[in-house]
Amino acid sequence: MSARILVAEDDVRQAQVLHMYLKSEGHDAVVVHDGRAAIDVARRLKPDLLILDVMMPRVDGLDVCRILRQESTVPVLLLTARSSEDDLLLGLDLGADDYMTKPYSPRELMARVRTLLRRVARTAPPDDALLRVGEITVDPLRHEVRGASGKLIACTPGEFTVLSAMAAEPGRVFTRKQLLDRTRGWDVSSTDRTVDMYILNLRKKLERNPRRPTQLLTVYGVGYKLTTGSDSAED
């Protein structure tokens, strides 16, 4: 089973060994050496699997896992020199699918990779999966949004990310911070006001009456939710 695999490992020699083993099994392997690069490349390439070293410069592996897990279901295999139970449980709590402690056997790591890829293949959604909530349809694969009557709606990347997160869990109330984390990752220049602007713009594009929205609703004191339109319009 060939896959696109991103390796984030700051030890150049270990990264080269991993790259060699992955290539020998027919995988398309990409290597980066710090956490910030791991976030950037994962967002751009959308790998099938991420092999992630915990101790990395700029952004450590646990933060990378936390950020990417909020916006992606990519399987994560952690590599860590930390052997305490608390450290390992923290990694799993943040959304890692498996872990190995250093030093490790490359052959055992390849076996773990095969297991994770088989698990993904069994649970992968159909290619034509769409997110439909009331009159709004989000196509994650084509990066398209359609409103009433199937009209194609142009959205910025930030707007699309926020809408996709909400469409995946209709009715769930998202705080501004939860939506902000999905759009900015480690970029601290964004603020809660950024999310408010995304919602305002989406209402203008998608709601029949943006001043009295029926789908993109505010939950006062908490955040926002996307509904089918059966909820009462805001006052």
> CA torsion sign, 220 to 222 to 224 to 225?
negative
State the pLDDT at residue 188.
Answer: 43
Question: CATH number of 131-226: 1.20.1290.10, 3.30.300.20, 3.40.190.10, 1.10.10.10?
Answer: 1.10.10.10
Write out the residue limits of the CATH 1.10.10.10 domain(s) in the chain.
131-226
Tens digit of each residue's pLDDT (9 = 90 or more) over 15-56? 999 999 999 999 999 999 999 999 999 988 889 899 999 888
The residues, ordered by sequence, that sit 6+ positions from 37 with a Cβ below 8 Å of its Cβ are: 8, 58
Ramachandran sector of residue 26 (left: φ over 0; alpha: ψ -120 to 50; beta: rest): left
- Tokens for 153? 């709606």
The per-residue DSSP string of 172-185 comes to PPEEHHHHHHHHHT
Instruction: Please report which confidence band the pLDDT of residue 187 belongs to, taking 50, 70 and 90 as the band edges.
Output: very low
The per-residue DSSP string of 25-59 comes to TT-EEEEESSHHHHHHHHHHH--SEEEEESS-SSS
Q: Topology of 4-123 in CATH?
A: Rossmann fold (3.40.50)
DSSP secondary-structure letter at 8?
A: E
* Residues facing 138 on adjacent strands: 131, 145
Q: What share of the chain is helix, strand, coil (3-state, %, to 5)?
A: 40, 20, 40
Tens digit of each residue's pLDDT (9 = 90 or more) over 102-158? 888 999 999 999 988 887 766 555 545 789 999 999 988 777 899 887 888 988 777
Write out the residue limits of the CATH 3.40.50.2300 domain(s) in the chain.
4-123
Residue 205, classed as helix, strand or coil, is helix
Residue type, 187: D
